[in-house]
Amino acid sequence: MYKGPEQFLDSDAAAGKVMAHARLLLKLSRRFEAIAPAGFRSSAHVANYKSGKIVIHADNGAVAAKIRQMSQRLCSELSKGGAECNVIEVKVQPRQIPYQSTSSTLKPLSAVACGVLRSTAETMPKGPLQEALANLLARAAKRE
């Protein structure tokens, strides 16, 4: 019979504490999304909870400042959801987008650079350095 990771984590005492904390964070996150103004739902999220303090990560300083201004109202609304909330700490922490690749920029060689590399390769003795320069000239994008 298949036992999912949740059942395994619930059965162990130490892992059970982690799962309980994860469930509390999920509950607080959903509650925050429900009570936060529409513009902040995608720009801020609940990061942690400890001893009545909720830590919220905002994507930028403007969102963080506005959430700090609204912290008393948000704190009382989050307390209604079951978890005690005494204070809200807001940190600017842009979200990390995993596996986001940045494309390399094409840097073409000028005609002068191509000429200098070509003449250098022609005057060199045969060897790996001359071959490397020839490969560079063959593969390089040229500025027109």
Instruction: Supply the mean pLDDT for the chain.
Output: 84
Mean pLDDT (whole number) for 132-142: 84
Separation between Cα atoms, residue 136 and residue 118, nearest integer Å = 10
**One domain, residues 69 and 21:** yes
pLDDT band at 10 (very low <50, low <70, confident <90, very high): low
**Domain end: 92, 114, 129, which one?**
92
**One domain, residues 77 and 38:** yes
Residue 142 has pLDDT above 80, yes or no: no
Range of the domain at 82: 5-92
Bridge partners, residue 89, by sequence: 55
Residue the block writes with tokens 């990771």 = 5
**One domain, residues 114 and 64:** no
**One domain, residues 44 and 73:** yes
76 assigned to some structural domain? yes
Q: 16-68 pLDDT, tens per residue?
A: 788 888 888 999 999 999 998 888 888 999 999 998 899 999 999 999 999 99
97 assigned to some structural domain? no
Q: 55-94 pLDDT, tens per residue?
A: 999 999 999 999 999 999 999 888 887 788 889 999 998 8
Domain count, the chain: 2
What are the structure tokens assigned to 112, written together?
């002068």
In this prediction, residue 46 carries a pLDDT of: 92
Residue the block writes with tokens 């509650």 = 31
**One domain, residues 134 and 70:** no
**One domain, residues 49 and 120:** no
∠5-11-13 over CA atoms, to 5°?
115
SS (H, E, C) 87-123: EEEEEECCCCCCCCCCCCCCCCECHHHHHHHHHHHHH
**One domain, residues 20 and 88:** yes
101 assigned to some structural domain? no
